[in-house]
Amino acid sequence: MGQHATIHGKTATEWNGQGGKWVPVKVNSSGMMASSPMVQYKVVTDDATGLDIASGPAILYGIVLIAAGTMANVYDGVTATGNVIIPSTTATVTFAGMGIICPIGITCDWTSGTWLVLYSTVV
């Protein structure tokens, strides 16, 4: 498990939407700041579970296949009518640690299987 540090002495200047709060920073065992993003996930298992990933601005980091199946599409939007960000696939798709900004939200059109959708809401 990596070490953790906290930025101290922060009083009023806003930084990353955290005005006046201490902000935790993840560092590796050498004391260097972690360079990969910290993301959250939603599990998508059927048409009723997890399809509306984010209903506002978010960053999409990819989808991870957990149990065999097909993800029809992943959209930049709050419905399955937005721009297709990830087309139909049966494999894990990530962007080498980079994310795609989805200014409206993230929605999945699930077909089968179990998937983790990796994302972060925009602060």
Whole-angstrom Cα distance, residue 24 to residue 3? Answer: 11
30 token code pair? 């050498």
pTM above 0.75, yes or no: no
DSSP collapsed to 3 states, 81-97: CCEEEECCECCCEECCC
Summarised one tens digit per residue, pLDDT across range 12-47 is: 455 555 555 555 566 666 666 656 678 899 998 877
Q: Provide CATH 2.60.120 ranges for the chain.
A: 40-121
Farthest-apart Cα atoms in the chain, separation: 49
Summarised one tens digit per residue, pLDDT across range 65-84 is: 999 988 889 999 988 888 99
Query: Residue 63 pLDDT more than 80?
Result: yes
Lowest mean pLDDT among 24-28, 95-99, 108-112, 115-119: 24-28
Q: Is 113 exposed, middle or buried (0-12, 13-18, 19+ CB in 10 A)?
A: middle
Give the pLDDT of residue 103.
93
Level-2 CATH architecture, domain 40-121:
Sandwich (2.60)
